[in-house]
Structures are given as structure tokens and as C-alpha cells.
Structure 1
Amino acid sequence: MASPDFDREEFAPFTVNGETYQTWYRVFGEITAGCRPPLIVIHGGPGLSHDYLLPLSDLAATAQVPVVFYDQLGNGRSARLPDKPHTFWSMHLFMDELDNLIAHLGIGEAFDILGQSYGGMLGAQYVVERQPEGLRHLILSNSFASMDLWNQSLAQLAQAFPQDVQEGLRLGISDVQKYEYGLMKFYEVHGCTIQPFPADFSRTFEYAFGDKRDLTVAAAMFPYLQGWTIIDRLHLIKVPTFVVNGRADFAQDFAAQPFFDRIPKVKWLTFENSSHMPFWEERDRYMQEVKNFLELTGP
């Protein structure tokens, strides 16, 4: 039987400009002295929640790796701030939130990071700019080295879809109904090929399109990210790094190539039977590859 601490949900107070908000987080496994460093999982979006990444909790059960999920501020179960102006939201805010969560959990001396999609972009910038001393390994899963590469990859793949799908992707959150239709059709091919979509995947998108919808973060961050790039600073990532994508991923090879070319200690694996979510599509192998990587000796 798992201990009472094996799966727990709590809030971490996070103060910004004198106001305190709540970051929701969930821990699988036990974070105790002498245990393996916990893996912090940074979800994508911007504007989604952690739910679609829950297969990574397998690592706690099968590899004794404590796994920390959290919903970034303004998303999912964390504090919603629909009245905040676009200027409130930035990569620096979310890096501060990650610093705060690490301090709250008391894991600053030893931890690993897995960032998926936009979460990998955030994770890469966090490592480049904050240089966290306790970081042992970095995993950039299905991610992009620049926003221009994101846009290029998405536009290239979208050309193969009917016009109504292309229109929905082009309109984005300016027309939520058309965007949801286009995005889900696109995801059937390049996002998550398991059909019907897994319940945890669908739960994530309920926060974007359902009754709990709050698009504050997406509306602010997508304009903010235009022009974003980490390419010229990737050499500053000194920890061992694992780059992952899928053969049918909308994070195509050319979008991930700069990670491999410029990070000093790097491994790259493409999952041949996956798209953007190999942790669903090739779940067992994905967990084994992550486990193997985390067992590598750190810096």
C-alpha cells in the first residue's frame, strides 16, 4: 500500500508585487532526505494545466522518482487572475513562480526538470537565466528553440488540413469555437493520436474551452512570445539535457535541432510512433528512457 504522502495536493503561497496568490501543486512519491531528486514537470500552453502530463506519475511508482506537477499561475487549479493586464504576465513571472515552488518544497539542493512544449521553452530560459545550483538534469520534451520555429512548424503542417481547420488555427482565441475545432482536428494527427483522447488530456483542454474556461494567460502570453528565442544562449545550459520529440510531432526536427546543436551535454531521441505526446503514445518506452536518463551522473 502506498503511504499517505505518495499522492498529495497542496498550495504554495506566491507573492508578486506585495500581493500573495496560490500555486496549486501535486506530488507523487515521497520527497525525503536520501531519496532520488524530484522531477518538476512544467506544463505547456501557455494557458493549459498539468493534467495531460499525468502519465509521468508512472515514474514515482515504477522508478521511485518523486514527481511534482503544478498548474502555473492563472491556469488550472492555481489562482485565476482575469483582471490582470497583459503586462503582468511574462516568462520572468513564471520563472519566479518556479523558484518559489522549489523553495516551498525545500528541494533546491537537488532536483530535475522536465518541460513539455511551451513548458520546455520556459524551462530552457529558466536554466539559462537562473542557473539553479541544484539542477541535475533537464528534459526538453516536444519543445521549440524559438517562437519563429514554432510558427513555422505549425504553419507548414497546417497546410495539409481542410480550410476550416486552417481557419480555426489562424484565428486562435479570437474565435474560441472555431479555434477549438481546428486545434482538436490538428491534435488528432500531430498532438495526441490516441483516440478517443485520454480523459486527462481532455481535462486539460476543459480549462481552455469548457465551463472553467479562462484564457487570460493565453491572451497575454502568445503576443508576448512572438520573437522569443533561446537559440543564442543555449550554450549556457551546462547540465545533461535530454531532447525528445515524436516523428509526427508539430515540434518537428528542425524546431528542436538548435537544442541538439548548441547545448554542450545533450542527447536527442525521436519516438517513431508518436506525435506531440509520446508519454501517451509510447508510454512505457518514454518512461524507461526518462528513467535511464535521470540515472546518468549529474554535473
Structure 2
Amino acid sequence: MPKLEPYLEGDLDFTVPSAGKPCKTHYWVFGDPKSSKPGVRPLIGLHGGPGFTHDYISNISHLTQLFGIPVVLYDQLGGGKSTHLAEKNGDTSFWAIGLFIEELENLLKGLGIEEFDLFGHSWGSIVISSFAIRKPKGLKKIVLASGLASMSDWIESGKELKKLLSEEAQDILKKHEEAGTTDSEEYQGATMEFYKRFACRLGPWPEDLLSSFGSMMQDPTVYHTINGPNEFLVIGPLKDHDITSELHKIEATTLITNGKYDEAQDKVVLPFFLNIPKVKWVQFAESSHVAFLEEEDRYLKVLGEFLLDI
């Protein structure tokens, strides 16, 4: 399906006093977010990472063509076309989940959006679930795509999935993790074996995914500070994230999705299903971590029908 040209694109001022300089959030709007059709609300998409860009989730903008749902995408602070803050590398007090919740709230206010739905992939699901437990006014539905409530579940899942890699890859990973040389080319090569099995099983990877991945590699400030070197070696403050005990506070109707071969294995997304009051779970049998790319047609159908109560 050809890419849809945005209805609106721009920069939104985002005041962050501790940043030490003016900040902006770059956004793209597909369709008219002021649509007055009954039951149709704008969907705001939050990409993963942390520190990726919107590019690899941009195909959810097809919901505008397929279902008439306006879609808002943006690059979170520190990535893509939004303000970069490489000088904040390693500053764990600055790069906190609350910062990204404030950015989302600023975006909604700046675009004048009062009723809305949220889509969050991976890290994006952490932001929107942490936002949703606050019971924000105007939030109706959320989509937690390959997300997690507790990072300890994610880390444990990663350890189990690593055991499925080739012996050679496992040995390389172990050697460099013990030596603290996770920035070596050999280590990065072994990491890609994990990604090609549990992050995206398509070959070759779609250009939009490569773009987001490449952007993060060029400026890994956010990813390395919050998370760590990669998806299965989480040593940043995100390692302590756990909102399982607060999930019952989420009032928004929720859709959980993951893939059969996802690094977000069933036990990772299960706390969402067990604790959120109004919830539905759909798994994609041919997908890993980016089911919206790996099974695009089915995913968009599931997503659109959920958002419109079809």
C-alpha cells in the first residue's frame, strides 16, 4: 500500500526546563484529527526504542485510508526530527518515563485533541500504560503492541530466547558481556542473529525499520541511557520498571498484541491481560516483535476493527 501524504506536519514547542535549551517535538498528522464522525477518534502512535523514530510504525497511518481514522505520529524527544540532547547521555534523572508522558500531554494539548486513542509499541507501550493508569481525561482505547508491564519478565524472556541462538552466537555474546566490550563489531553481529529471529523475521528488513534502527544507532543517547546496549541486556533504570500492581487502574478499553516468535513472549504480556479490566489479546502466528510489519494486512484489520468496535 503506497504511503499516505500527511494532512499536517510540523514542530511543536516542548518546554523542558532541565534540558538547558529549547526543545521541539516533530509530528505528522494523517487525516483530519477534528473529524466529527461518531465513534471516530484520532489515534496517537508511540514508537519503541527508547530512542527510535516513528518511521517503522508509520504504516499504521493506513488506518486513515482503510477506516477513516486520523493518525498522529511523532518522533519522541531525543530521536529523529525532534530535538536531540546528546549532552544528556547517561543522565538517568533526565531521561525518565515521566518526561515522555509530559511530551505526549504537550502534543495532545498543542494539537487541540480532547478525545483520543493510543497505540504504543514496545517501549511505547511502557509510556502509554504508565500514562493510562493516571486515568487521563479523553483517553478511550489503548493498544499495547508487544509491550511489557514488568521489565523483569522481559529480561527473563530474553535469557530464554538467547538459548535458542547458535552456540557460536551465544559464546560471542557471553564473552563480550563478561568483558564489557558490547560495542565490538563481533558482539553486534551476534546481536543481529537475535534480532532477526525475535525482533523482525522479514528478510530483508523493511526500509522504514532500517531507518528507525539506523537513526538510533547514530544517536543512541536515549536507548543506552534508559535501556542499555541491546534488547536482552537491560542495565539502565528501565530494568526496575514494574507497574503490574497498578494495571487495574486502567479504565481505557485495551487491545494487547504480540507475535508467536516475539521477544515479548506470552508471559511478558500476560500481566496486562490478567490485570486490566477491559482487555482483549490477539496473537499473530507468523510474527515476532513487529507484527504490524510482518502481517500488515491482518494487523491493520484487527486494529481498525478494535478502534471502531466493528
- Regarding TM over 0.5, the answer is yes
Q: What are the superposed Cα offsets for residues 169-196 of structure 1, whole Å, 9 maximum, x if unpaired?
A: 9749941634542332212111111110
2:220 is the counterpart of 1:215: yes
Query: Could you say what secondary structure the match of 1:83 adopts?
Result: helix
Q: Is this contact kept in 2: 1:6–1:30, CA < 8 A?
A: no
Distance 2:80 2:169 in 1: 26
2:118 is the counterpart of 1:113: yes
2:278 is the counterpart of 1:265: yes
Q: 1:177 to 1:285 in 2, by over 3 A?
A: same
Count of matched residue positions in the alignment of Structure 1 and Structure 2: 289
Q: Is this contact kept in 1: 2:182–2:188, CA < 8 A?
A: no
Q: Is this contact kept in 1: 2:126–2:149, CA < 8 A?
A: yes
Pick aligned residue for 2:76 from 55, 72, 78: 72
Deviation, structure 1 residue 161: 1.1
Deviation, structure 1 residue 141: 0.5
Query: Could you say what secondary structure the match of 2:222 adopts?
Result: helix
Give the counterpart letter for 2:202 in structure 1: I
Residue segments in structure 1 that go unaligned for 5+ positions in a row: none
Give the counterpart letter for 1:142 in structure 2: S
Query: Could you say what secondary structure the match of 2:210 adopts?
Result: helix
Distance 1:237 1:208 in 2: 31
Pick aligned residue for 1:37 from 34, 38, 41: 41
Query: Could you say what secondary structure the match of 2:183 adopts?
Result: helix
Deviation, structure 1 residue 86: 3.1
Q: 1:6 to 1:80 in 2, by over 3 A?
A: closer
Aligned to 2:240: 227
Give the counterpart letter for 1:17 in structure 2: P
Deviation, structure 1 residue 5: 7.7
Distance 1:104 1:178 in 2: 45
Distance 1:11 1:179 in 2: 37
Residue segments in structure 2 that go unaligned for 5+ positions in a row: 228-235
TM-score, normalization: structure 2?
A: 0.88
Give the counterpart letter for 2:161 in structure 1: L
Distance 1:207 1:54 in 2: 15
Deviation, structure 1 residue 54: 1.4
Percent of aligned pairs sharing the same letter: 38
Aligned to 1:249: 262
Aligned to 1:23: 25
Distance 2:152 2:59 in 1: 29
Aligned to 1:125: 130
Q: 1:55 to 1:33 in 2, by over 3 A?
A: closer
Once superposed, what is the RMSD of the aligned Cα atoms? 2.1
Aligned to 1:188: 196
Distance 1:176 1:101 in 2: 38
Distance 2:52 2:124 in 1: 10
Query: Could you say what secondary structure the match of 2:133 adopts?
Result: helix
Q: Is this contact kept in 2: 1:5–1:30, CA < 8 A?
A: no
